[in-house]
Structures are given as C-alpha cells and as structure tokens.
Structure 1
C-alpha cells in the first residue's frame, strides 16, 4: 500500500512543479520518492531476516534486529514528514 501512495505523491508533486515551476514542489516530490529506494535497499533486508526467524524463537539477535528496524523506520517516517512539510510550504507560497 505504501509504494503506490509514495508513487502518487511523487507524481502529483512533479505535476505541480511542471505546472507552477515552484522548486519546493520538486523537492517535496524527491523527498517522498526517496522512501521507495530507502525501503527496498535498507529496510527490506532487515524485514527478510526478521520474517525468516521461526515464531517463538526470539533471542538477542531478534531484539537487535527489531531495534534496528525501528530506527530505520524512523528515518522513513522523517522523510515522509519532511516531504509533507515541504509540500505545505509550497502550497503556501
């Protein structure tokens, strides 16, 4: 669900940039789109490791991976928040 929303947000940001020429729209589109490669290249390997672990077999490695996943997800959340703020600023100017 997130990938299509990112793609739609980036496309709409690019479209508005083409229409208005405002650089903030382009920056917002780049920020929101950066979630896709970040997720696939950085977060997906951690997800795959966690998903490959058998249920009820949590250990120190599981805890470390879950904490790492949380930190990585925080970056992704920050990218989305930054894109939203840039889009809001672009709409005000």
Structure 2
C-alpha cells in the first residue's frame, strides 16, 4: 500500500508538471508580458503548494515502502528522485521565481524570466517521470 500510494503521488506530480510545461506555460507565453506575469503569479502560488506536498509525500512513502519491506531499491530510488525536486527548486529555480514575484507588470525582463522559468521547469517534469517509472518498476513483478 505504501508503494502504491507513492506511485500515485509521483504520477500526480509528473502529470501536473507535464501539464504546466506543455499546456499552461506555452499558453501563458502567448499573452503579452504583463498578462503572462499576472497569470504566472497566482498559478505559481497554487502550484507550489500542490507540487511540494506531492513531492514530499511521494518521496517519504517511497522510502518508507523500501524500509518496511527491505526488498525493493526501486521504491527508495523513486522516492529520492521525487524529493530531488525540492533542492533542485531551491538551487536552480528559486532566483528566477524571486525575480518574477518582484517583477513589475510588463517589464522588459519579464518575458526572458518566464522563458527561463519554463526551461527550468522541464527538469521537474523529467524528475517526476523518472520517479514514477522507478516506483512503478518496483511494483511490477
């Protein structure tokens, strides 16, 4: 049950990150700079809560499944990969997020920051998909 719940969390994380990267963010980038920034700010605030919760819950559950059954390193590896989203965000994305939160509507820097944010977000997609694959592999016979 622990591994299955970890898989669900990882899949939800990956799906949300994928949606943002390939649907929401490209649509946002069709807007003018001020509107794109105005849309990014509340979407980021709400998305952060969901993505952090899924990363922590899925990561901890993957590690707990490995610890509980002492048999499947895929669960631990998937949990660790999912948790890597948190230090990655602090190390690579935090500066861009801070600048975007402080940016004035439609500043010259806005478009470049949003574009950079979209590229950085692709790593979250990859980490989510890898974590999902690892945990799923651990569940398969």
TM-score of the superposition, structure 1-length normalised? Answer: 0.89
Gaps of 5+ in 2: 1-48
Q: How many residues align?
A: 91
Q: Aligned to 1:78, which of 117, 121, 126? A: 126
Tell me, what secondary structure is at the counterpart of 1:54? coil
What are the residue-to-residue correspondences of 1:49-64 with 2, within 5 Å? 49-55=99-105, 57-59=106-108, 61-64=109-112
Aligned CA-pair RMSD: 1.2
- Offset, 1:19: 2.2
Aligned counterparts of 1:82 and 1:5: Cα–Cα separation in 2 = 15
Q: Deviating runs (4+, > 4 A) in structure 1?
A: none
What corresponds to 2:77 in structure 1?
A: 27
TM-score of the superposition, structure 2-length normalised? Answer: 0.61
Deviation track 1:28-66 (CA, whole Å, cap 9, x = no partner) reads 0110000011112211210111111111x232x322211
